[in-house]
């Protein structure tokens, strides 16, 4: 059986951390009833005995769990044990660790507790391989041992710290109304659960009054919708900003260290060798202004709720090359070598051109024949022509962006999803599957779409549209050749050997 | 190469489960049929035959549960009527988890091999097999063993 004395235990706060949400639900009525205590303990206990019993059972279960969970960092591996009824001991070699996340949650800072997640490329996609609430010194020891292993003998430290407004641009790009609205809704409903229905009602009434004051010249329904969208977006923007301010990335040998956040500080220790791919994202607006947001796919990084796998919050064209050669020189984008032929451009844009033409003609006709409704015609025409024009612009950008490039053993795939432009850079051996699809029109035009499935924690597929068949064949031959070269040069990766 | 079979406990546990199910079926037959009726007799004979067949099958099933660890891969094979062979390349093994049973059975534990793309359970292995596999897969345990031998 497992001798738990050989392992470092979790922080004692882990006893209640596992069910803190239920404890809050139980503690609030208990404290409230304590405040209303009249001096008769018997009658008080008669009112709250069920809450006291549930709380005691939870703490007892937490204590039992805490007693049987431990972690030990040895020369070449991390050993963790857990389980009361079904004891488990897990061995993870340092070489196989993809990422370690250390989360300094603000309310754990005074008691020096940190949340640690250890991830490998194996295991459950939704849960980390090891997740513990450790003492800060234990987490530091684990990170320093792993860091020494990853960094090797390389003493050169390369640091990237973006300017504050770059983080602002990232928050601007990644914020959405839904995230903020969900956060606000959760906050309101949780406040109702914890502080009572009266407090929730009061909060909603105040919000409604605020909405009325803010939107005195708008119809109430429009004001509510506008308020929810704008308020949600603003909340999400602020949350994203707080999460990513103070961002820095440091590269030392095979170690990629990322730190971000000002209230809850998160530190990530990634194995650069296990980074699956680099993804550069652009919207049409940021494309016009020449900005990129860089994300990396590495198991465990950006996996939790509200986290993003950011590597470069926002960089201009010139900064991109400089920053990447500093912190991730293995994955630098290459210019397109295979791109859709110009003859396919017409096939892509003719429906949009037709739609725009019809809309413009219709607008002109309505303007001419309905002089009494000109104000309405101008408004409706704008509302229809602008999105159609934007879509056409998106199509044009998409055509000139799409393509595949190669630099030594890395490939760069450029594709478009909706109005977002993606540039994905990965090593040849990280391509898991390629699907070639052709419609009747593409068969006539000797073109094909490529679906490229990449190795990552979430299934990632990039669709490179309308490449020439000859180019597709050339790309496949080069990919195969690059894979063969990588296989030849790969170290003899065997999990231990039979000695 | 390391090769071996799972512990006999697999057979005993499956046999116990078969006996439990057949016992429940026999009790149901006794409760819901007329005493001394032909139907009851036939059903009880059928349950006894099923139990016997189940017990024989568990013996063969245990024999079919084999593992093999080579330089290239680790493999686990099980089943008679429907044979399944699971194989994981050693280069893709990421973690090894030793799972102990909830009740104290001396010298028995299972190994969960986690790899990219899935995991493989080697159920109820003898402790010497677990030790041999762990020594082969985990360098530190191998080093500890070598140190111990040198000390001896």
pLDDT one-digit tens code per residue, B18-53: 999 999 999 999 999 888 889 999 999 999 999 999
Q: What secondary structure does DSSP assign to A31-65, as a single string?
A: HHHHHT--S-HHHHHHHHHHHHHHHHHHHHHHHHH
**Residues 47-86 of chain B whose Cβ lies under 8 A from any Cβ of chain A:** 69-71
Asked if residue A383 belongs to a domain, the reply is: yes
Same domain for A380 and A422:
no
Rounded Cα distance between A324 and A312, Å, is 9
Same domain for A451 and A371:
no
- pLDDT given at position B144: 59
Asked if residue B123 belongs to a domain, the reply is: yes
B149: distance to nearest CA of chain A, Å? 15
Whether B90 and A494 lie within 8 Å, measured CB to CB:
yes
Same domain for A385 and A449:
no
Residues of chain A in contact with residue B143, where contact means CB-CB under 8 angstroms, are 75
Asked if residue B88 belongs to a domain, the reply is: yes
Which domain-ending residue is among A193, A217, A244?
A: A244
Q: What secondary structure does DSSP assign to A146-180, as a single string?
A: HHHHHHTT---EEEE---HHHHHHHHHHH--HHHH
Q: What is the pLDDT of residues A22-44, one digit of tens each?
A: 777 777 777 777 777 777 778 77
Asked if residue B27 belongs to a domain, the reply is: no
Domain range spanning residue B126?
79-151
- pLDDT given at position B117: 77
Partner A contacted by B121 (CB < 8 A): no
A345: distance to nearest CA of chain B, Å? 40
- pLDDT given at position A170: 82
Q: What is the total count of domains within chain A?
A: 4
Asked if residue A365 belongs to a domain, the reply is: yes
Question: Using beta carbons and an 8 Å cutoff, which residues of A are at the interface with B?
Answer: 1-2, 74-77, 83, 85-93, 96, 120-123, 129, 455, 493-499
Residues of chain A in contact with residue B127, where contact means CB-CB under 8 angstroms, are none
Asked if residue A124 belongs to a domain, the reply is: yes
Residues of chain B in contact with residue A121, where contact means CB-CB under 8 angstroms, are 94, 116
Rounded Cα distance between B44 and B36, Å, is 11
Domain range spanning residue A24?
4-96+119-139
- pLDDT given at position B142: 58
Which one, of A463, A468, A349, lies nearest residue A417 by Cα? Answer: A463
Same domain for A134 and A11:
yes
Whether A92 and B95 lie within 8 Å, measured CB to CB:
yes
Which domain-ending residue is among A197, A221, A244?
A: A244
Question: Consecutive sets of 10 residues in chain A, 499 residues long: mean pLDDT of each?
Answer: 77 84 72 76 78 84 89 89 88 92 92 94 86 93 91 83 85 72 67 63 73 64 74 84 91 92 93 93 87 91 85 87 90 94 90 93 90 83 88 92 94 92 93 91 90 88 93 94 86 45
Whether A120 and B101 lie within 8 Å, measured CB to CB:
no
Question: Which value does ipTM take for this structure?
Answer: 0.79
Asked if residue A259 belongs to a domain, the reply is: no
Same domain for A354 and A409:
no
B14: distance to nearest CA of chain A, Å? 19
Asked if residue B42 belongs to a domain, the reply is: no
CATH number at residue A450: 2.30.29.30
Asked if residue B25 belongs to a domain, the reply is: no
Whether B102 and A86 lie within 8 Å, measured CB to CB:
yes
**Residue A284: exposure state from Cβ atoms within 10 A (0-12, 13-18, ≥19):** middle
Q: How many residues are present in chain A?
A: 499
Asked if residue B105 belongs to a domain, the reply is: yes
- pLDDT given at position A497: 42
What is the average pLDDT across B2-16? Answer: 90
Asked if residue A424 belongs to a domain, the reply is: yes
Same domain for A473 and A370:
no
Please report where in the chains the tokens 């470092």 appear, as a residue. A8
Same domain for A228 and A184:
yes
Asked if residue A288 belongs to a domain, the reply is: no
Asked if residue B136 belongs to a domain, the reply is: yes
Q: For residue A405, list its beta bridge partners.
A: A412
Q: For residue A453, list its beta bridge partners.
A: A433, A461
Q: What is the total count of domains within chain B?
A: 1
Same domain for A15 and A125:
yes
Rounded Cα distance between A448 and A185, Å, is 46
């Amino acid at each position: 059986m497992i001798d738990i004395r050989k392992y470092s235990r979790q922080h004692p706060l882990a006893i209640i951390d596992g069910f803190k949400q239920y404890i809050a639900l139980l503690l609030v009525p208990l404290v409230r009833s304590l405040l209303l205590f009249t001096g008769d303990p018997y009658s008080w206990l008669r009112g709250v005995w069920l809450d006291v019993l549930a709380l005691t059972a939870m703490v007892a279960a937490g204590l039992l769990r805490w007693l049987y969970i431990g972690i030990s960092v040895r020369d070449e591996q991390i050993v963790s044990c857990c389980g009361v009824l079904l004891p488990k001991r897990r061995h993870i070699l340092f070489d196989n660790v993809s990422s370690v996340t250390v989360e300094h949650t603000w309310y754990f800072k005074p008691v020096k507790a940190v949340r640690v997640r250890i991830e490998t490329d194996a295991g459950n996609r939704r849960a980390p391989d090891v997740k513990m609430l450790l003492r800060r010194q234990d987490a530091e020891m684990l990170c320093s041992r792993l860091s020494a292993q990853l960094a090797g003998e390389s003493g050169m430290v390369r640091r990237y710290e973006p300017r504050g407004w770059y983080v602002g641009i990232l928050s601007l790009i990644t914020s959405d109304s839904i995230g903020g609205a969900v956060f606000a809704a959760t906050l309101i409903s949780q406040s109702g659960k914890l502080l009572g229905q009266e407090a929730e009602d009061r909060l909603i009434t105040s919000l409604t009054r605020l909405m009325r004051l803010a939107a005195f010249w708008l119809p109430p329904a429009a004001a509510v919708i506008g308020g929810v969208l704008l308020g949600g977006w603003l909340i999400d923007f602020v949350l994203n900003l707080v999460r990513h301010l103070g961002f820095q990335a440091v590269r030392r040998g095979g170690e990629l260290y990322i730190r971000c956040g000002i209230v809850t500080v998160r530190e990530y220790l990634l194995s650069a060798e296990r980074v699956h791919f680099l993804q550069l994202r652009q919207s049409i607006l940021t494309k016009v202004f020449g900005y990129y947001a860089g994300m990396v796919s590495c198991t465990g990084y950006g996996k939790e709720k509200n986290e993003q796998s950011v590597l470069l919050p926002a960089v201009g064209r010139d900064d991109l090359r400089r920053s990447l050669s500093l912190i991730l020189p293995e994955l630098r984008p290459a210019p397109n070598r295979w791109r859709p032929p110009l003859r396919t451009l017409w096939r892509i844009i003719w429906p949009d051109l037709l739609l725009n033409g019809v809309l413009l003609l219709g607008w002109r006709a309505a303007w001419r024949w309905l002089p009494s409704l000109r104000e309405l015609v101008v408004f409706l025409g704008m509302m229809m022509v602008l999105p159609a024009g934007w879509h056409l612009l998106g199509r044009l950008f998409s055509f000139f962006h799409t393509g595949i490039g190669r630099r030594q053993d890395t490939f760069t795939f450029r594709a478009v999803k909706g109005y977002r432009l993606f540039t994905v850079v990965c090593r040849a051996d990280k391509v898991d599957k390629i699907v070639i699809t052709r419609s009747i029109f593409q068969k006539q035009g000797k073109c094909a779409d490529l679906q490229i499935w990449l190795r990552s924690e979430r299934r990632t597929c990039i669709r490179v549209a309308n490449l020439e068949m000859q180019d597709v064949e050339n790309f496949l031959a080069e990919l195969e050749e690059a894979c063969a070269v990588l296989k030849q040069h790969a170290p003899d990766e065997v999990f231990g050997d039979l000695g | 190469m390391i090769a071996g079979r799972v512990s006999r406990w697999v057979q005993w546990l499956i046999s116990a489960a078969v006996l439990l199910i057949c016992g429940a079926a026999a009790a149901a037959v006794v409760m819901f049929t007329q005493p001394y009726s032909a139907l009851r007799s036939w059903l009880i004979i059928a349950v006894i035959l099923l139990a016997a067949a189940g017990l024989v099958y568990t013996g063969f099933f245990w024999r079919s549960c084999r593992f093999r660890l080579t330089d290239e891969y680790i493999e686990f094979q099980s089943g008679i009527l429907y044979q399944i062979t699971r194989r994981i390349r050693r280069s893709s093994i990421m973690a090894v988890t030793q799972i102990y049973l909830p009740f104290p059975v001396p010298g028995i534990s299972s190994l969960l091999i986690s790899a990219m793309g899935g995991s493989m359970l080697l159920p109820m292995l003898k402790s010497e097999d677990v030790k041999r596999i762990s020594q082969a897969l985990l360098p530190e345990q191998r080093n500890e063993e070598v140190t111990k031998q040198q000390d001896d």
